[in-house]
Structure 1
Amino acid sequence: MRQIIKLLISVAILAAVFSSGLAAAHGKVSLESDICMRNISGSMVHLSTYQPQHDPEAEYCTEIPKEGETLWVLDLVDQALRDMPIVIKIVRGSGQALSDTIATLYSNSHSDGIIKGEFNLDGGEYTLFVTGEGVPPLQYEYPLRIQMTDYKEAFFSAIPYIIAFLLIALFTDKLLKRRQIQH
């Protein structure tokens, strides 16, 4: 009986350790480690996207769960960027497969460091380019994935649960075999 209790405690500890990383949210990290932050020559920008019609409290970056209306906010962290014209362009495709320009926004007045807007995109891959028209120009790039399943991320987030299930199955099997031997 002691071994069973030790076993269950071990499984619970393993499940807690492996699943603790899943609770980290986008909004709870430092600027330097935020995946939505881009830094070129010491000038930083931060992108946040929202779909309040689906989840009013969720904040996304480049993985947007549903197609349709998406609000975006670009934070110009550094003063140098706030003083120069900014061009924001959304292009269909990513990497070498860029094609149609979906939307272009020119912003000359953003002294508060915030530029916001919205886009309505179908599912697929897009790239959002942010260009600070200074000398030299600064270009930031955000690959956007709209309503696309990231199977790699889904697989890695399921691993702790698969391990816990396999451990429970293994220990249950050993326990049942042990009882058969005793009877």
Structure 2
Amino acid sequence: MITLEKITGHVFIAIILFTLYSGLATAHGKVDLDADVCVRNISGSMVHLSTYQPQYDPQAEYCTEIPKEGETLWVLDLIDQALRNMPVAVKIMRGSGASLSDTVTSLYSTDHSDGVIKGAFNLDEGQYTLFVTGEGTPPLHYEYPLRIQMTNYKDLFFSYAPYIIIFLLLALMTDKILKRRKLRS
């Protein structure tokens, strides 16, 4: 026979497990290059993009999902040594995929022996694409889709899903307990 104590114990264990669920951590930080979503790799030649908005959060580092419109600092790390010795063009265009429109800004760098190219852009809400081209033989083309101040509903759903599941489990257990108590009386 199922007792109230057993049900309460199971609910308590479920709450503890969901509280310890680490899938909610979505920070971009110290990640292996192979697993870093901000790294682009073409035939072993890698670049890494980091974006910052210190006026809103001085500690936060973003990749392609930029939370607010306005001034955004960007840093492109040329991980591959060969890229450091060739001219690199950086271009930001409005839109993505087949719906690319006008060029918002561009930069041409020939002196980046330290492997770092940096700059700033000021973009409105919407979708953009950042293109990086290493002008070697053959040329290397990297692409980063940028989303400025746009809600990513898929990530939002997955960040709240454990809480919704906990709520539904608690509601179901409470309903079952109340029905059992009603049947006993």
* Counterpart selection for 2:80 from 63, 78, 81: 78
State the alpha-carbon separation in 2 of the partners of residues 25 and 152 from structure 1. 16
User: Structure 1 stretches (4+) deviating beyond 4 angstroms?
Assistant: none
SS of structure 2 residue aligned to 1:26 = coil
State the alpha-carbon separation in 2 of the partners of residues 8 and 142 from structure 1. 44
Specify every segment of 5 or more residues in structure 1 that has no aligned partner in the other structure, as ranges.
none
**Worse-matched range after superposition: 151-160 or 30-39:** 151-160
Report the AA paired with residue 77 of structure 1. Answer: I
Report the AA paired with residue 133 of structure 2. Answer: T
1:56 aligns with 2:58: yes
1:177: how far off? Answer: 1.5
1:74-113 map, 5 Å:
74-113=76-115
**Worse-matched range after superposition: 22-31 or 7-16:** 7-16
SS of structure 2 residue aligned to 1:90 = strand
State the alpha-carbon separation in 2 of the partners of residues 91 and 78 from structure 1. 25
> Could you state the TM-score of these two structures normalised by the residue count of structure 1?
0.95
1:36: how far off? Answer: 0.2
1:153: how far off? Answer: 1.5
State the alpha-carbon separation in 2 of the partners of residues 36 and 121 from structure 1. 19
Between the two proteins, the alignment pairs up a number of residues equal to: 182
Task: Work out whether residues 91 and 126 of structure 1, in 8 Å CA contact, stay in contact via their aligned partners in 2.
Answer: yes
State the alpha-carbon separation in 2 of the partners of residues 119 and 84 from structure 1. 23
> Could you state the TM-score of these two structures normalised by the residue count of structure 2?
0.94
* Counterpart selection for 2:44 from 22, 42, 45: 42
1:178: how far off? Answer: 1.7
Report the AA paired with residue 47 of structure 2. Answer: V
State the alpha-carbon separation in 2 of the partners of residues 30 and 36 from structure 1. 11
1:128-139 map, 5 Å:
128-139=130-141
1:1-183 map, 5 Å:
1-16=4-19, 19-183=21-185
RMSD between aligned residues: 1.2
1:24: how far off? Answer: 4.2
- Superposed CA offset, 1:45-79 (max 9, x none): 00000011111111100000100000000000011
Report the AA paired with residue 143 of structure 2. Answer: E
1:13: how far off? Answer: 3.8
Task: Work out whether residues 93 and 126 of structure 1, in 8 Å CA contact, stay in contact via their aligned partners in 2.
Answer: yes
1:14: how far off? Answer: 3.9
Report the AA paired with residue 3 of structure 1. Answer: K
Report the AA paired with residue 37 of structure 1. Answer: V
1:28: how far off? Answer: 2.9
1:9: how far off? Answer: 2.6
State the alpha-carbon separation in 2 of the partners of residues 149 and 66 from structure 1. 10
